[in-house]
Amino acid sequence: MEEIMKKRQKEAEEAYEKMWNGGKGSHHPDFDPEADGDDVIKGSRETEELYNAIVKNDIALVYKKIEEGADVNFVFGRAYRCPEGYTPLMVAAHRGRLECSKALLRAGADPNYINGAHDLTLFWGIDGGVEMIKLFVDYGADLDVCTPKDWTPLSYCKAKGKYGATEEKGIYPEDVLRYYGASKYGSGPEALGTRSPRESFNPEAEAFLRERGSYQNEPEHP
């Protein structure tokens, strides 16, 4: 049995190396080998493996790839079938990978990057939930920046809808940003519908921890 397992492991390692093909191939699922042009930039092996570690939420591997030299500010662009571009931090933030995002920010990832579609990295952070927003605040994200298409974090939150991530139901991302000092609204994206006028995020308020089945109550350990 041990010999069989060793054989299978060797075959898996050989297949993995074949994917890389001395740098001509890729470990990224969206790599386009036919893309060409001066703006087609391929990431290093460590950077592509960093992407996969983030997707799998393998925090130990994220740190390992950073230590090995992965570029935490690499832009996955046309070489990866995304002309607008996205960074490892965008990947982590959008998926709510809080610890992965911490690792990237500690390593110098830019929380204020704007991609080719004029989307802020913070927009992706807003999608990741309240704790992700707070992390971005801690690392110096500009809460009142206005993109070239006249979007701001507050107007993005307003358009996003009533609640943040499902595990934080009852908390408006818009109110979280306002609590931390955001004040500017842009003209877009279009907001569909309206929300309740109550302020949903104020940790200093006496009634903040009232029982109402929201994220305000710490979840019990399983």
Q: What is the dihedral of CA 17, 35, 113, 189, to 10 degrees?
A: -130
Q: What's the pLDDT at 160?
A: 77
- Rounded to two decimals, what is the model's pTM? 0.83
- Cβ atoms 177, 157 nearer than 8 A: yes
Across 129-134, average pLDDT: 91
Q: What's the pLDDT at 213?
A: 44
Q: What's the pLDDT at 210?
A: 43
**Mean of pLDDT over the chain:** 84
169 pLDDT above the threshold of 50: yes
188 pLDDT above the threshold of 80: yes
Backbone angles phi, psi at 45, to 5 degrees: -60, -45
Which of 60, 69, 65, 104 minimizes the C-alpha distance to 86? 104
**Gap between the Cα atoms of 85 and 117, Å rounded:** 8
pLDDT digits (tens, 9 = 90+) for 104-122: 999 999 999 999 999 999 9
For residue 155, what is the enclosing H or E element?
A: helix 153-160
Non-local CB neighbours of 1 within 8 Å, separated by 6+ positions: none
pLDDT band of 212, cuts 50, 70, 90: very low
pLDDT band of 103, cuts 50, 70, 90: very high
For residue 13, what is the enclosing H or E element?
A: helix 2-20
Report percent pLDDT > 70 for the chain. 76
**Gap between the Cα atoms of 201 and 165, Å rounded:** 14
**Gap between the Cα atoms of 27 and 169, Å rounded:** 36
- Cβ atoms 46, 70 nearer than 8 A: yes
Q: Which of 54-68, 97-111, 158-172 has the lowest mean pLDDT?
A: 158-172
**Gap between the Cα atoms of 112 and 70, Å rounded:** 19
196 pLDDT above the threshold of 70: no
Q: What's the pLDDT at 108?
A: 98
